[in-house]
């Protein structure tokens, strides 16, 4: 497989009308049609997209990311008419959720359609599907006229990209193109769920919160994996170390004083120490690098800036990052899930 591609770069203003006919979108869609892969924005994070019906395209996605082949991909669609080819059947519970949350950051795991490749599902009998809420993503899927398989457009193990420059850093020369549509809004990935009759199980917390789901389907639970880590996670991606900047993260649940104490100890040990905090608390610390990630009062801003902040620590070349914790409510559940997975130590 080719490892030094010339990666095309397009900047597209997502507020334009008729994006499906935008020359950059047409060019990118043609690349998808010839089974090559490109990165594009969604409302959550940038995706690395390829024709979901082509084993050749799927192999290129796994190769470019360095992704383990047992971690299945999410299929992105632009209209519900595309579902017929992707899934086998749509239970009533799923229909209600699609009506309520699509387009949007909700991925639904359903029985796999017979025509879909085992490469997409990593051999599972189920397939994950979502309709992204981003005009560029929707225009690209429509112009390509195929469902698009897309994991987050980062090298495996790195924080997901929330800006086209992150994609460039990870995948330049490894993919055919990058559509730059600016910073993504939500910043953490979609919520992955499974549904049974009248119940929903969250396999990965994300952009749609538990309480939002509960307004549509009253019984919402979490995969047993989140309760005792002895269980194998139903979302295979959850078992990998993810979202990690270069430096190890110490995730602390105490107040600013107890965080500062850890910073002092690490500095005494000769380490260059970074602190991940929020705008409200930047003046509470003395450390080598202090980065504010959104506002604690508005957790959605922490979600939006989390991955970019983790990547910024790489540029500052810190030896370790001491991070504040966040309440596990609303989008805070997804934020803490990602921080806990990124962290090497929890105090
Ligand atoms: O917001 C998002 O979901 C982004 C954007 C690009 O759409 N995509 C994304 O994809 O985060 P990825 O590949 O990084 O994560 C997909 C997650 C993984 O945890 C994977 O294991 C899970 O979805 N998944 C995929 N198919 C599944 C299935 N059939 N059953 C259970 N989990 C599945
Ligand atoms: Mg990912």
Q: What is the pLDDT of residue 198?
A: 86
Q: Is 241's pLDDT higher than 70?
A: no
Q: How far apart are alpha carbons 12 and 98 in whole angstroms? A: 28
CB 277 within 8 A of CB 289: no
Q: Tell how far the Cα of 194 is from the centroid of ligand 2, in angstroms.
A: 18
Q: What is the pLDDT of residue 235?
A: 82
Q: By percentage, how much of the chain surpasses pLDDT 70? A: 97
Q: pLDDT tens across 174-206, in order?
A: 999 999 999 999 999 999 999 988 899 999 999
Q: What angle do CA 185, 335, 197 make, to 5 degrees?
A: 90
Instruction: Check if 201 has its Cβ closer than 6 Å to any atom of ligand 1.
Output: no
pLDDT band at residue 3 under the 50/70/90 scheme: low
Atom nearest to 74 CA in ligand 1:
25
By the 10 Å C-beta count (0-12 exposed, 13-18 middle, 19+ buried), 309 is classed as buried
Instruction: Check if 154 has its Cβ closer than 6 Å to any atom of ligand 1.
Output: no
Task: Tell me the best of 78, 107, 126, 147 to mutate to test the pocket of ligand 1, counting ligand atoms within 8 Å of each CB and taking the most.
Answer: 107
Q: Tell how far the Cα of 260 is from the centroid of ligand 1, in angstroms.
A: 36
Instruction: Check if 323 has its Cβ closer than 6 Å to any atom of ligand 1.
Output: no
Atom nearest to 71 CA in ligand 1:
21
Query: What is the rounded (10 degree) CA torsion for 284, 290, 291, 295?
Result: 0
Q: pLDDT tens across 287-333, in order?
A: 999 999 999 999 999 999 999 999 999 999 999 999 999 999 999 99
* Residue whose token pair is 């971690």: 71
- Which strand (E) or helix (H) includes residue 136? helix 135-144
Mean of pLDDT values over 256-277: 96
Query: What is the rounded (10 degree) CA torsion for 96, 198, 132, 52?
Result: -110
Q: pLDDT tens across 147-180, in order?
A: 999 999 999 989 999 999 999 999 999 999 999 9
Q: pLDDT tens across 76-122, in order?
A: 999 999 999 999 999 999 999 999 999 999 999 999 999 999 999 99
Instruction: Check if 71 has its Cβ closer than 6 Å to any atom of ligand 1.
Output: yes
User: Strand, coil or helix: what is 61?
Assistant: helix
Q: How far apart are alpha carbons 22 and 25 in whole angstroms? A: 5
The overall pTM is greater than 0.85: yes
Q: pLDDT tens across 46-79, in order?
A: 999 999 999 999 999 999 999 988 899 999 999 9
């Amino acid at each position: 497989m080719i490892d030094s591609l010339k990666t095309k770069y397009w900047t597209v203003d997502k507020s334009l009308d008729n994006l499906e006919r935008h020359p950059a979108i047409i060019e990118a869609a043609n690349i998808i049609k010839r089974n090559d892969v490109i990165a594009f924005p969604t409302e959550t994070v940038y995706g690395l997209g390829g024709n979901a019906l082509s084993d050749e395209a799927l192999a290129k996605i796994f190769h470019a990311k360095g992704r383990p082949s047992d971690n299945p991909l999410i299929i992105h669609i632009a209209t519900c008419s595309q579902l017929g080819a992707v899934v086998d059947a749509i239970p009533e519970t799923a229909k209600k959720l699609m009506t309520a949350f699509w387009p949007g950051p909700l991925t639904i795991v359903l029985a796999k359609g017979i025509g879909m490749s085992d490469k997409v599902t990593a051999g599972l009998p189920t397939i994950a599907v979502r309709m992204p809420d981003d005009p560029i993503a929707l225009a690209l899927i429509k112009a390509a006229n195929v469902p698009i398989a897309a994991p987050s457009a980062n090298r495996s193990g790195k924080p997901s990209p929330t800006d086209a420059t992150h994609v460039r850093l990870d995948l330049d020369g490894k993919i055919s193109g990058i559509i730059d549509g600016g910073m993504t809004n939500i910043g953490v990935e979609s919520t992955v769920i499974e549904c049974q009759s009248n119940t929903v199980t969250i396999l990965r917390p994300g952009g749609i919160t538990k309480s939002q789901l509960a307004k549509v389907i009253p019984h919402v639970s979490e995969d047993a994996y989140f309760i005792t880590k002895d269980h194998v996670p139903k979302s295979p991606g959850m078992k990998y170390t993810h979202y990690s900047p270069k430096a190890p993260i110490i995730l602390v649940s105490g107040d600013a004083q107890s965080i500062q104490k850890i910073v002092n100890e690490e500095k005494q040990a000769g380490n260059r120490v970074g602190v991940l905090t929020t705008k409200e608390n930047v003046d509470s610390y003395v450390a080598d690098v202090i980065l504010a990630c959104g506002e604690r009062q508005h957790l959605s801003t922490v979600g939006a800036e989390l991955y970019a902040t983790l990547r910024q620590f790489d540029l500052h070349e810190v030896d370790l990052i001491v991070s504040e914790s966040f309440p596990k409510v609303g989008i805070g559940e997804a934020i803490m899930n990602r921080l806990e997975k990124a962290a090497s130590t929890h105090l």
